[in-house]
Amino acid sequence: MLVVGLAAAWIVALIASRHLRRRLHKLRQAAEAIARGDLTRQIERPPHDDFIKLADSLERMLDQLHDTLREQDRLRQQLTRSEKLALIGELAATVAHEVNNPLDGLQNSTRIIRRNLDNAEQTRQLLDLMDAGLYRIEVIVRRLLTMSRDEPVNPVPVRVDEIVDDAVVFVQPRLDRGAIELVRDFPDTPLFARADRGQFAQALINLMINAADSMSHGGKLILRCRTGDRGQKVLLDVIDTGSGIADDHLPHIFEPFYSTKGKGKGTGLGLAVVARIVQAHQGTIEVQSDLGKGTGFRIELPAATQRIVPSTSPASGGLPAPGRPPAPTGKPA
């Protein structure tokens, strides 16, 4: 009887051990799935399970993770909206100035035509100027609408100098008002990068606006483009001769709502937008600054392996620039 009892006890223990291992294995698989980000995994909870408390704990952890992800998504969407509003606010004055110039020309042209209705040649020339002014307004509005869209990044092969043209259209009046010289240091052969033309222009606008803000008494803004990593990368430098950034601020400048401009002078979102856009392009951005001497940002993007003519549709980032900025009057230092 003793032998039979021991044998029965051993069999019961073996069955219990195998059941325990199976349950632990299933719970371990569920925990590993959750750790990988698979929040759809269901926790098995058979009746009278000795591990029901552990299963309940995993279920509660899943619910908490779901709540956390929903909150993170809500905050991300709210931050994106704030970034868009900040960008629109920064551009409002520049856009108004840029649109007012051709509008003034249109008004002057109509006055001259009314005073000289019989001068057909002059009227034809003025109508050509009016067409050019209307086209320039159309370009500016389309670019602004493109930048305001909340669309995913769609990198395609595009000429870097054309993206710079898109950004300069908005920033040039601000540079002119601040007596800031714009120097473009680009190679003779156009460089192509994989970029979303509209969104990457946003990043450049933010960098150039920041640079202009740091040069309150005038200065020089240098845009330099080169290849790197044996042609696999495109390097774009944005360098100013402004006030610079203190060492204790540098680690935080890409954080949302962190501003060095003082209360009421900045949203702290400009560089956060830049970092987000560059990251979405699978690129990197670095900064070097000397207090009182200036700041340089270097953006590194994947080079395009195929050279194509960019589309001129609004979805691709806007119409071609109506004209390039004036040739630089000096060379970068």
* Multiple choice CATH, 153-308, 3.30.565.10, 3.30.360.10, 3.40.50.170, 3.50.50.60: 3.30.565.10
For the ranges 62-76, 126-140, 298-312, the lowest mean pLDDT is seen at 298-312
Q: What is the pLDDT of residues 77-131, one digit of tens each?
A: 666 666 666 655 655 655 665 677 677 778 888 888 888 888 888 888 888 888 8
Domain segments of the chain: what residues?
Answer: 2-39+49-74, 153-308
Q: Which is more confidently placed, 276 or 101?
A: 276
Q: What is the pLDDT of residues 223-260, one digit of tens each?
A: 999 998 888 999 999 999 999 999 888 888 888 666 76
The predicted pLDDT at position 299 comes to 96
Kindly report the three-state secondary structure assignment for every residue of the chain. CHHHHHHHHHHHHHHHHHHHHHHHHHHHHHHHHHHCCCCCCCCCCCCCCCCHHHHHHHHHHHHHHHHHHHHHHHHHHHHHHHHHHHHHHHHHHHHHHHHHHHHHHHHHHHHHHHHCCCCHHHHHHHHHHHHHHHHHHHHHHHHHHHHHCCCCCCCEEEEHHHHHHHHHHHHHHHHHHCCEEEEEECCCCCCEEEECHHHHHHHHHHHHHHHHHHCCCCEEEEEEEEEECCCCEEEEEEEECCCCCCCCCHHHCCCCCCCCCCCCCCCCCHHHHHHHHHHHCCCEEEEEEECCCEEEEEEEEEECCCCCCCCCCHHHCCCCCCCCCCCCCCCCC
Q: What is the mean pLDDT of the chain?
A: 75
Residues across the chain = 333
| pLDDT score of 296 more than 60 | yes
Q: Are 287 and 295 in contact (CB under 8 A)?
A: yes
The pLDDT confidence band at residue 68, using thresholds 50, 70 and 90, is confident
Sequence letter at residue 272: A
The predicted pLDDT at position 218 comes to 92
The predicted pLDDT at position 109 comes to 84
CA distance 325 to 174: 13
Q: What is the pLDDT of residues 152-189, one digit of tens each?
A: 778 899 999 999 998 888 888 889 888 999 999 999 99
Task: For 184, list phi and psi in degrees, rounded to 5.
Answer: -105, 115
184: which 2 tokens?
């473009």
The predicted pLDDT at position 318 comes to 35
* pTM for the full predicted model: 0.54
The predicted pLDDT at position 161 comes to 93
Q: Are 232 and 303 in contact (CB under 8 A)?
A: yes
The predicted pLDDT at position 204 comes to 92
| pLDDT score of 293 more than 50 | yes
